[in-house]
Amino acid sequence: QQPLPSQPPGRRQPQQPRVPPSVSEEPGGHGRQRGSQSVPQGRNGRRPEGLQISAGFQELSLADRGGRRRDFHDLGINTRQAIEHVQESKTGSSGIMVKLTTNYFRLTSRPQWALYQYHVGYSPEMEARRLRSALLFQHEELIGKTHAFDGSILFLPKKLGKKVTEVFSRTRNGENVKITITLTNELPPTSPTCLQFYNIIFRRLLKMLNLQQIGRNYYNPSDPISIPNHRLMVWPGFTSSILQYEESIMLCTDVSHKVLRSETVLDFMYSLYYQVEEQRFRDACAKELIGLIVLTKYNNRTYRVDDIDWDANPQCTFRKADGSEISYVDYYKRQYNQEITDLNQPVLISQSRRRRGTIMPGPVVLIPELCFLTGLTEKMRNDFNMMKDLAVHTRLPPEQRQREIGKLIDYIQKDDNVQKELRDWGLSFDSNLLSFTGRVVQGEKILQSGNVFNYNPQFADWSKETRGAPLICAKPLDNWLLIYTRRNYDTANTLLQNLFKVTPSMGIRMNKATMIEVDDRTEAYLRVLQQSVTPDTNIAVCVLSSSRKDKYDAIKKYLCTDCPIPSQCVIARTLSKPQTAMAIATKIALQMNCKMGGELWSVEIPLKQVMVVGIDCYHDTLSGKQSIAGFVASLNQTMTRWFSRCAVQGRGQELVDGLKACLQTALRDWFKWNNYLPSRIIVYRDGVGDGQLNTLVNYEVPQFLDCLKSVGKDYNPRLTVIVVKKRVNTRFFAQCGGALKNPPPGTVVDVEVTRPEWYDFFIVSQAVRNGCVAPTHYNVIYDTGKLKPDHVQRLTYKLCHMYYNWSGVVRVPAPCQYAHKLAFLVGQSIHREPNLLLSDRLYYL
């Protein structure tokens, strides 16, 4: 968890907009000056951005110095070396073989390839990076045309004659400068520095292909997909990263789609203005805009909107680097010929998180009229029609996806400049996607009250097979409330009748509900709940007339905190279709049963005395204030009952402190249920961002261990911590005859595309109807459990069958999905920790 910047956004006197420093303050040496300055130069207050390659380099050199740049690939964190039993092998064994293709290309280099790293020193010392490069490259005949230099570190594909080379250059002041080029490192292809270097080179290649960089990925703007109904434009593009994988260094590339909007932030504000009442306008803007990424009209940068300053406008002034004051209007007119027409618009504030060159991070001021929106807002994501229109273009079936991925290698192989660059560095890429063999593990049988259900493993769904079968544990509906508005009386009544029809076969005993009619106002619902909920109430069911969130939030908040009983909200429209009414009633009955502490089904779990924990986080992007960690732990052997708690973490607080408390209570409850403590604890940790692995390994895991130690002197359970990642760029395609299909559920991959320094594997657990299935990545970062890799993989897959809100296999182990649900409910609606009286039930489903 990265602490949020504490600096408040600039008010009134907005600070220097760091938007436009693409004009280097150093004169771009003209004519044949080779990048050095004309004589009378101002002291370079800001250093220029330098070579593109150097921008990437800075990361590298900073990281070398233990800097704070985030490494998205979690390089250099070797967790496998500490796990004794997987030193030899980390692969599983069960299942049948399946031929797979994946979106990876091997990087090949000529034999004995190495990268030579030199340190370049100047005497007398030269400060400006530009000057340093200019002086160095006066000796191109020595260094060669292929090089990468960031001001002090020089990379060459060849070795210079001597270990230390001294050359002399002359500045325009006639000053003689001694340059010492010292070989500091001969980097093997697999060294972390080399890997970062490949990535930098690869980005250079993508630029050569005229792809546009937006954020971390590259997109092809020349052939956009336009969705005019929603003013959206979709650019096809690629994600790419080059890393050391199990056997070789490979490029992992996937198709990515960037959603852009052909309207400015100002346009958006105007259209919003017509949609909401005046007094809600500012709030609505904040709600829709904060957290979005914008593109500016004048440079190729993206910014995250962190705040809107309504007190400022484009006529406000700021101080330029040379000390002069200028208004935004004048600045953009003069610098970029950009006309700002609306002088009363507010300004957007973006807290830059990254150091750019020598510029310290600080608020950046942006003008709405000059910013374009990218991505989707929450509102758009909830727009079913829009998402449907988008999916047509973005969800590619396996064959098509593979073709699109292949295009990138095609581009690379057909472009002469790109080929030349690669040749100069002595690198090349395989032209074929990597193929290898994976395993499909055996499907799980669903156990429900003495019945054993088989189902088609291809669909990973057993809703049909188990329909109407008795549940493991059915909770009676003796005393329950059904609350509805007058308009929905019929709907509520139909629901009641349907529940009477579907519950008997499940074994749920049901009395008629206490039917209560309310006005369609939040207060009315709350008043009824206050009056009617008694200690004996099993559950309160509310039929809502619209999907308006405030009503839902208020009901959930009240029934999860002040008056802790399970509740079920359902929108009237969902119930209104006669053809689906029974299926919906069945689903609601099951969900209500879980919320009251019932159990639906189980799978065979051979491990004993094990407590499985799931953790996921919800980040409040809106207010940027708090994060919520949902924590779920199994209470019984069959993993059908779960304890839950959540940690609400304020700004600047560490999440793990809350998690410790959660684990303590979970162990206490486990003891109450079982009369002994678990001898094994397996934690599935979801919600870990790219580059945060380090924090987890060095901070969170030790805290867990600490917490376990505090339980008792001789309590020494085995602990396994597994990081779960849903967002990965890896895709697998199964070769079926001549065609490529999604791999079947239960596909496990623990070779080739895993990382040698980790104990990790992929599982495809779910089935998808359209598009490509995304495998889930599991990384065992700590393990004193000594379970065989095969058993860990099997257990993980089994747990994906245990999520009660879906009669099928899900993407992550059930505890993670439960933790996600809990964190989402608390983060979205409740905003504080729910009452612990509910903690042994799945009330958050």
Partner 1 sequence: MDKNFQEEQFTGVIKFTPPLYKQRYQFVKYLVGKYKPKKVADLGCADCTLLWMLKFCSCIEVLAGLDICTSIMKEKMYRLSPLPVDYLQPAERSLTVTLHHGSVAHKDPCMLGFDLVTCIELIEHLEESELKKFPEVVFGFMAPSIVVISTPNSEFNPLFPGVTLFRHPDHKFEWNRVQFQSWALETARRYDYSVEFTGVGHPPTGMENVGFCTQIGVFVRKHPQTSESAQSEKPTEGVYKTVFKAVYPSLKDEKYLQNAVVSEVIFTAQIIKRSLLDCVVSEHEEYNDDPTERKSKFQPSMNCFSDNLGKLVVEKRMEPFVNGHVVYIPLTTIFSFPKVNQLCGTFEKLRKLIAGKVTLSSDGSAVMFNTEHENEEN
Question: Does residue 215 touch partner 1 according to CB under 8 A?
Answer: no
Q: Which is nearer to partner 1, 175 or 186 (CB)?
A: 175
In the complex, the smallest distance separating the C-beta of residue 733 from partner 1, rounded to whole angstroms, is 28
Only one residue has tokens 């304020």, namely: 650
Q: Between residue 435 and residue 474, which ones bind partner 1 under the rule CB under 8 A?
A: none
In the complex, the smallest distance separating the C-beta of residue 485 from partner 1, rounded to whole angstroms, is 7
Q: Which of 302, 276, 239, 304 is nearest to 619 (CA)?
A: 304
| Contact residue for partner 1 among 15, 16, 24, 377 (CB under 8 A) | 24
Question: Does residue 112 touch partner 1 according to CB under 8 A?
Answer: no
| Contact residue for partner 1 among 64, 84, 166, 175 (CB under 8 A) | 175
Which residues, 6+ apart, have CB-to-CB distance to 109 below 8 Å? 189, 426, 427, 428
Which residues, 6+ apart, have CB-to-CB distance to 137 below 8 Å? 34, 35, 143, 149
**What does the block give as tokens for 757?**
């320094």
| Contact residue for partner 1 among 68, 573, 709, 832 (CB under 8 A) | 573
In the complex, the smallest distance separating the C-beta of residue 481 from partner 1, rounded to whole angstroms, is 21
Question: Does residue 626 touch partner 1 according to CB under 8 A?
Answer: no
Q: Between residue 151 and residue 170, which ones bind partner 1 under the rule CB under 8 A?
A: 170
Distance from C-alpha of 139 to C-alpha of 169, rounded to nearest angstrom: 8
Question: Does residue 123 touch partner 1 according to CB under 8 A?
Answer: no
Window contacting partner 1 (CB under 8 A); options: 254-262, 345-353, 465-473, 783-791: 254-262
Question: Does residue 372 touch partner 1 according to CB under 8 A?
Answer: yes
Q: Which is nearer to partner 1, 35 or 743 (CB)?
A: 35
Q: Between residue 493 and residue 532, which ones bind partner 1 under the rule CB under 8 A?
A: 519-520
Q: Which is nearer to partner 1, 24 or 428 (CB)?
A: 24
* Count of positions on this chain that bind partner 1 (CB under 8 A): 80
| Contact residue for partner 1 among 172, 355, 395, 445 (CB under 8 A) | 172
Q: Between residue 375 and residue 414, which ones bind partner 1 under the rule CB under 8 A?
A: 384-385
| Contact residue for partner 1 among 21, 35, 363, 630 (CB under 8 A) | 35
**Bridging pattern class, strands 567-571 and 539-544:** parallel
Q: Which is nearer to partner 1, 124 or 652 (CB)?
A: 124
Q: Between residue 667 and residue 706, which ones bind partner 1 under the rule CB under 8 A?
A: none
Q: Which of 43, 103, 54 is nearest to 429 (CA)?
A: 103
| Contact residue for partner 1 among 8, 28, 76, 702 (CB under 8 A) | 28
Q: Between residue 282 and residue 321, which ones bind partner 1 under the rule CB under 8 A?
A: 295-300
**DSSP structure string for 64-108:** HTT-----TT-TT---GGG-GGGSS------SEEEEEEESEEEEE
Residue pair 230/389 in contact by the 8 Å Cβ criterion: yes
Window contacting partner 1 (CB under 8 A); options: 64-72, 218-226, 508-516, 587-595: 218-226
| Contact residue for partner 1 among 16, 241, 248, 262 (CB under 8 A) | 262
Q: Which is nearer to partner 1, 231 or 718 (CB)?
A: 231
In the complex, the smallest distance separating the C-beta of residue 417 from partner 1, rounded to whole angstroms, is 9
Question: Does residue 485 touch partner 1 according to CB under 8 A?
Answer: yes
Residue 452 to residues 446, 466, 474, 834, Cα–Cα distance (Å): 6, 9, 18, 36
| Contact residue for partner 1 among 3, 40, 535, 578 (CB under 8 A) | 40
Q: Which is nearer to partner 1, 171 or 514 (CB)?
A: 171
Question: Does residue 578 touch partner 1 according to CB under 8 A?
Answer: no
Q: Between residue 715 and residue 744, which ones bind partner 1 under the rule CB under 8 A?
A: none
| Contact residue for partner 1 among 125, 141, 325, 416 (CB under 8 A) | 125
**Bridging pattern class, strands 148-149 and 153-156:** antiparallel
Distance from C-alpha of 643 to C-alpha of 665, rounded to nearest angstrom: 9
**DSSP structure string for 11-69:** -SS-----S-TTS-SS----TTSTTPPPSSPPP-SS-----HHHHHHHHHHHHHTT---
| Contact residue for partner 1 among 34, 68, 625, 668 (CB under 8 A) | 34
DSSP 382: T
Window contacting partner 1 (CB under 8 A); options: 6-14, 333-341, 436-444, 670-678: 333-341
Q: Which is nearer to partner 1, 228 or 737 (CB)?
A: 228
Q: Which is nearer to partner 1, 34 or 672 (CB)?
A: 34
How many residues comprise the chain? 845
Question: Does residue 207 touch partner 1 according to CB under 8 A?
Answer: yes
Residue pair 704/214 in contact by the 8 Å Cβ criterion: no
**What does the block give as tokens for 73?**
């690939």
Q: Which is nearer to partner 1, 40 or 737 (CB)?
A: 40
Residue pair 303/349 in contact by the 8 Å Cβ criterion: no
At 271, which amino acid appears?
S
Distance from C-alpha of 49 to C-alpha of 26, rounded to nearest angstrom: 10
Q: Which is nearer to partner 1, 261 or 439 (CB)?
A: 261
Question: Does residue 549 touch partner 1 according to CB under 8 A?
Answer: no
Q: Which of 146, 145, 200, 136 is nearest to 168 (CA)?
A: 136
**What does the block give as tokens for 382?**
């909830």
| Contact residue for partner 1 among 61, 171, 327, 653 (CB under 8 A) | 171
**What does the block give as tokens for 568?**
């079920």
**What does the block give as tokens for 617?**
């986080």
| Contact residue for partner 1 among 486, 527, 549, 668 (CB under 8 A) | 486
Residue pair 127/121 in contact by the 8 Å Cβ criterion: no
Interaction mask 135-154, partner 1, x per CB under 8 A? --x--x----x---------
Question: Does residue 38 touch partner 1 according to CB under 8 A?
Answer: yes
In the complex, the smallest distance separating the C-beta of residue 19 from partner 1, rounded to whole angstroms, is 13
| Contact residue for partner 1 among 13, 275, 532, 623 (CB under 8 A) | 275
| Contact residue for partner 1 among 6, 112, 279, 337 (CB under 8 A) | 337
Is residue 232 within a helix (H) or strand (E), and if so which, with residue range? strand 232-244
Residue pair 292/377 in contact by the 8 Å Cβ criterion: yes
Q: Which is nearer to partner 1, 65 or 608 (CB)?
A: 65
Question: Is residue 128 helix, strand or coil?
Answer: coil
Q: Which of 469, 473, 474 is nearest to 505 (CA)?
A: 469
Q: Which is nearer to partner 1, 149 or 733 (CB)?
A: 149
**What does the block give as tokens for 44?**
């370079």
Distance from C-alpha of 398 to C-alpha of 378, rounded to nearest angstrom: 28
∠ CA 239-685-639 to the nearest 5 degrees?
130
Distance from C-alpha of 614 to C-alpha of 813, rounded to nearest angstrom: 8
Q: Which is nearer to partner 1, 487 or 672 (CB)?
A: 487
Question: Does residue 807 touch partner 1 according to CB under 8 A?
Answer: no
Active-site residues: which are they?
616, 654, 686, 820
Question: Does residue 221 touch partner 1 according to CB under 8 A?
Answer: yes
Window contacting partner 1 (CB under 8 A); options: 28-36, 61-69, 597-605, 633-641: 28-36
Question: Is residue 230 helix, strand or coil?
Answer: helix
Distance from C-alpha of 639 to C-alpha of 662, rounded to nearest angstrom: 18
Q: Between residue 48 and residue 77, which ones bind partner 1 under the rule CB under 8 A?
A: 51-52
Q: Which of 239, 227, 238 is nearest to 263 (CA)?
A: 227
Residue pair 590/804 in contact by the 8 Å Cβ criterion: yes
In the complex, the smallest distance separating the C-beta of residue 334 from partner 1, rounded to whole angstroms, is 9
Distance from C-alpha of 623 to C-alpha of 708, rounded to nearest angstrom: 34
Question: Does residue 229 touch partner 1 according to CB under 8 A?
Answer: yes
In the complex, the smallest distance separating the C-beta of residue 260 from partner 1, rounded to whole angstroms, is 6
| Contact residue for partner 1 among 121, 224, 397, 457 (CB under 8 A) | 224
